[in-house]
Chain A
Amino acid sequence: MLLGESISAVGWVNNTVPDAPNIVELPMTDVAGAGIAVGAALAGRRPIFVVRFQDFLILNGSPLIFYAAKLKDLHEKSAPIFVRAIAAEGIGPVHSGVLHSLFMHFPGFRVASPMTPGEYEEVWRGYMDNDDPFICSEHRASYSNKDDLPDEIAAGADITIYAISSTRFEAKKAARLLKNEGVRCNVVNIVWLKPFTLTKRITEPLKESRIGLVVDPGHEIAGASESIAYSLMINTGFPVKALGLEDRTKCLCQPLQNRAPEAGRIAEAAKELLAGTGRVFT
């Protein structure tokens, strides 16, 4: 069962929904729509709920946060719902947001941001193996991507860049820019935002490079980048900086779009961080 607004409209959600049975076209009922989807989850249907722009999670968040995510702690019941929360870039103040950090903040959710087909399958299995409400933070930047995006580990790396969602594509480019300037760089991908587990895959590169940078396309203040940077720092004792959106609105047109960190900005942030340590690169 899949519920959402304007599902069968132009392009079927960027060609990500098949013309299949059990698709429920919700009217423009943000808030109630999420409640209806959670009600379907209570009935055991494991519905997929499509939120075409993550900004709309503010309205739709209420039944998810206050009902679905609290159900287990309060009543030992569950409302497993898979929320396809789609992010985009450059289409204005309430269509370009990345809000997954909001759902990391509240208890009761699993949150992941897959960017490859293989990761999406893994994330889906993670949802089906559990009964928690699930926020799948998608990004349109990933829809054309068919490649795996493995971690990049450089021998004797100077810095480890942790990248989330669409910034993963930019972090790879940033690593190449930095390499050209003599900076060796690990790129570690973060798919699972909550629970965020400090596995060896995550922590070992930082222990080698002894300095880290977490990049996220959401707002930096109290966002995923700051939260994860904090966890890494506490766990390893090494300095880790957060890089996300500036603290201002994403306007429609440049130069005021306040875009997610792109390769150049990520590379600059890495160099500033390294400059602070007094290390010299040639």
Chain B
Amino acid sequence: MRAPDLAVIENGAAIVPEDIALEIYRRICRTRIFEEGLIKAVKDGFVTSPVYLSSGQESIAAALSVAVPGPVIFAQHRCHGVYLSYGGDPVKLRDELMGLPTGTSGGRAGSNCVQCHENGVAMHGHHGLIGENVPLAVGYALASKKSTLAIFGDGAAEEDYVLSSLGFAATHRLPVLFVCEDNNLSILTAVETRRSWKVSKVADAFGMEAEDLSDDPWTIYLKAKELVKKTPALMNIHTCRANWHVGVGTDGPAEWDRFSDVRNALKGAGLWDKAQAIEGAERLSMEKVWEQGQLRRLSGK
């Protein structure tokens, strides 16, 4: 059942090592604060192409990137959080969103197609077709035997070729960690309207380890570290998109606010002072990325 505490390990922030807890928080802040700047840049007219925001869901990529470092990544359209958490350069992402030649794909691809092939990151660009990345990830793992991460949404999980790919990965015991960021919405149509089944049960039937859990980052960290040793495996992580499917608007408060929960957990674990310092540093760094005078120069506006 969809709930903020589904399969959550209690006191996770206190269980994981302090440096890990704080590093996950740093990565959460990076995505959240980068996108705060992006939202303003969209409203100010500096970014005019469609944007798919990770805000609300950022704890997933932040925790995964710490738990599972260095995989070959095949993400989907909502990929800012994956890119930034795994170490992608925020300036290059900003430039991509502004359509500049200095962007991650020379400004040709945009928000939903972010790639990164530098600084030890191997993230393949998506093209916008829901779930297309999953068979690509499976084929990559088959051909290379490298640890591969396929991240997709609850809508993609319904694509026939995604289900076939799960089956193929199970048959060949491929080193793929499948992560479904289940925000319950295909644009605005809820999962229960679309299907009666759970992708975790399908994965289980194919013969791979699969878990349903909520987007508590400490739980994701602890479980991903274990599941990545048992690949192929699947995590269906219930989460809440803070903004529209595409664009910077909102439809009122989400079902739960993981960002606030994370802050409270850090307070409870006695890490609040350190967390605040981290958040402050990220804010300073992202303010430079979105500085107005620079945006005017870059956009010619």
Q: Which residues of A contact B (CB under 8 A)?
A: 1, 24, 26-27, 29, 31-45, 47, 62-63, 66-67, 70-71, 73-77
Contact = CB atoms under 8 A, between A and B. Distances in A.
B168 A29 contact: yes
A42 B142 CA distance: 11
Interface of B: 74, 105-106, 108-109, 113, 115, 117, 124-125, 127, 129, 132, 134-144, 146, 160-162, 164-165, 167-168, 171
B125 A35 contact: no
A38 B129 CA distance: 15
Contacts of A24: 142
Contacts of B115: 75, 77
Given A32-B168, A73-B108, A43 B160 contact: no
Contact of B168 (A27, A42, A44, A66): A27
Contact of B165 (A35, A41, A75, A76): A35
Contacts of B132: 35, 62-63, 66-67
Contacts of A39: 74, 135-143
| Interface of B, helix, strand, loop or mixed by DSSP | helix
List the 9 closest A-B pairs by CB distance, nearest first.
Answer: A39-B139, A35-B135, A36-B139, A32-B164, A40-B143, A43-B143, A32-B161, A39-B136, A29-B164
Nearest to B132: A67
Contacts of B140: 39-40, 42-43
Contacts of A33: 135, 164
A37 B139 contact: yes
A44 B113 CA distance: 21
A47 B136 contact: no
Most buried by A among B106, B135, B137, B162: B135
B105 A75 contact: yes
A103 B127 CA distance: 18
Given A39-B142, A63-B135, A67-B129, A76 B105 contact: yes
Nearest to A68: B136
A3 to B, nearest CB: 8
A32 B163 CA distance: 9
A191 B142 CA distance: 33
B267 to A, nearest CB: 42
B105 A40 contact: no
A133 to B, nearest CB: 13
Nearest to A24: B142
A38 B108 CA distance: 21
A35 B106 contact: no
Given A32-B165, A33-B135, 19 more contacts: A29-B168, A32-B138, A35-B136, A35-B161, A36-B165, A36-B168, A39-B74, A39-B139, A41-B139, A66-B127, A66-B129, A66-B132, A67-B132, A70-B127, A74-B108, A74-B113, A75-B105, A75-B108, A75-B113
Given A32-B161, A35-B165, A36-B168, A77 B139 contact: no
Nearest to A35: B135
B171 to A, nearest CB: 7
A22 to B, nearest CB: 10
Contacts of A34: 135
A67 B134 CA distance: 12
A39 B150 CA distance: 12
Nearest to B139: A39
A43 B168 contact: no
Contact of A40 (B134, B139, B160): B139
Contacts of B168: 26-27, 29, 32, 36
Task: Tell me which of B135, B139, B140, B162 has the highest count of chain A C-beta atoms within 10 A of its own C-beta.
Answer: B139
25 contacts: A27-B168, A27-B171, A29-B168, A31-B135, A32-B135, A32-B160, A32-B162, A32-B168, A33-B164, A35-B165, A36-B139, A37-B139, A39-B136, A45-B143, A63-B132, A63-B161, A70-B127, A73-B108, A74-B113, A74-B125, A75-B108, A75-B115, A75-B125, A76-B105, A77-B117
A76 B96 CA distance: 14
A43 B129 CA distance: 20
A38 B49 CA distance: 28
A76 B106 contact: yes
Nearest to A81: B139
Contact of A31 (B117, B161, B167): B161
B36 to A, nearest CB: 27
A19 to B, nearest CB: 20
A77 B118 CA distance: 13
Contacts of B144: 43, 45
Contacts of A32: 135, 138, 160-162, 164-165, 168
A36 B138 contact: yes
Given A74-B109, A76-B105, A35 B134 contact: yes
Contacts of B108: 73-75
B135 to A, nearest CB: 3
A43 B148 CA distance: 11
Nearest to B105: A75
Contacts of B139: 35-43
Nearest to A37: B139
